């Protein structure tokens, strides 16, 4: 229909009829623009709520995808920060430790003044702390102190940063407790290695690792046996002055030391020996 024909057709219509037609047209047009904006606050908050529901239900994989969408859509907001922290937590829960740490490192770097920075440091410490030995470790009776301690050192640094920067944080109390545990684990690791070398006749290496345990972790229970291993190692190396020095420190700090009579303690069975 040409414009002139359309004009002639509607020229004879009443104003009321024209108004009704226009109103209908506007209604149809309005329906076409009321679709919810995916970037609106309401839409993003609903998306985040869905992610939290998935986390609560244990649907971690779906929660990860949803949280990634929230991060992108709410960029620059506190909600995006919360989504990032939740994303790190869920990745940790699903065993994606490296991805969880990368997410936390990114958060800490990009949000140095975030009100949730203390929690980010705490969570990074928890991810590294990870004292779960797994099925093989439990089956073989392996101790935490017998494994490589780099993750423990990383956890300690995160907890220390938390305690130093946020001494009043609700997470700092637990962080201090875990720091004490880690220090003992690190000392026991050095002692474990020193004991290993001593039993195999590598006395120089044994003395060095025992000395590390004493110098770096002087207030831990491991110091007692470490001093004894130092003394016995120097004795085998025919270094009487160093032996006497180690024994003197041992007797001063542990006058009733059982190691002076019992010697280096053997475990009932090595962790790797399961038969």
- The predicted pLDDT at position 263 comes to 58
Number of domains in the chain: 1
Across the range 24-30, mean pLDDT stands at 41
Q: What is the pLDDT of residues 79-106, one digit of tens each?
A: 999 999 999 999 999 999 999 999 999 9
Average pLDDT value for the chain = 81
**Confidence label for 38 from pLDDT (cuts 50, 70 and 90):** low
**CATH code, domain carrying 91:** 1.25.40.10
- The predicted pLDDT at position 21 comes to 40
d(CA 209, CA 226): 8
Closest CA to 88 of 57, 128, 50: 128
49 domain residue, yes or no: yes
Residues 185, 149 contacting (CB under 8 angstroms): yes
Range of the domain at 71: 38-114
10 domain residue, yes or no: no
Q: What is the pLDDT of residues 148-203, one digit of tens each?
A: 678 889 999 999 999 999 999 999 999 999 999 999 989 999 999 999 999 999 99
Angle of helix 117-129 versus helix 172-199 axis, rounded to 10: 30
Of all residues in the chain, what percent carry a pLDDT higher than 70?
74
- The predicted pLDDT at position 67 comes to 96
- The predicted pLDDT at position 43 comes to 86
266 domain residue, yes or no: no
25 domain residue, yes or no: no
């Amino acid at each position: 229909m040409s414009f002139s024909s359309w004009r002639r057709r509607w020229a004879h219509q009443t104003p009321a009829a024209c108004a009704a037609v226009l109103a209908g047209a506007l209604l149809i047009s309005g329906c076409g623009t009321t679709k919810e904006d995916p970037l609106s606050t309401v839409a993003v908050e609903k998306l985040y709520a869905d992610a939290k529901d998935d986390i609560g239900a244990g649907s971690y994989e779906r929660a990860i995808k949803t949280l990634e969408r929230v991060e992108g859509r709410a960029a620059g907001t506190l909600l995006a920060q919360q989504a990032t922290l939740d994303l790190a937590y869920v990745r940790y829960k699903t065993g994606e430790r490296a991805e969880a740490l990368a997410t936390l490192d990114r958060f800490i770097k990009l949000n140095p003044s975030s009100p949730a920075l203390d929690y980010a440091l705490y969570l990074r410490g928890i991810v590294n702390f990870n004292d779960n030995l797994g099925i093989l470790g439990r089956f073989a009776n392996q101790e935490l102190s017998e494994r490589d301690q780099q993750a423990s050192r990383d956890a300690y640094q995160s907890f220390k940063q938390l305690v130093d920067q946020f001494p009043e944080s609700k997470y700092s109390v637990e962080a201090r407790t875990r720091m004490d545990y880690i220090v003992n684990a690190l000392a026991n690791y050095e002692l474990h290695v020193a004991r290993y070398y001593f039993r195999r006749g590598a006395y120089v290496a044994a003395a060095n690792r025992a000395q590390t345990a004493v110098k770096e972790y002087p207030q831990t229970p491991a110091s007692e046996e470490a001093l004894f291993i130092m003394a016995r190692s120097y004795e085998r190396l025919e270094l009487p002055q160093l032996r006497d020095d180690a024994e003197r420190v041992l007797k001063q700090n542990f006058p009733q030391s059982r190691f002076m009579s019992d010697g280096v303690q053997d475990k009932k069975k090595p962790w790797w020996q399961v038969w």
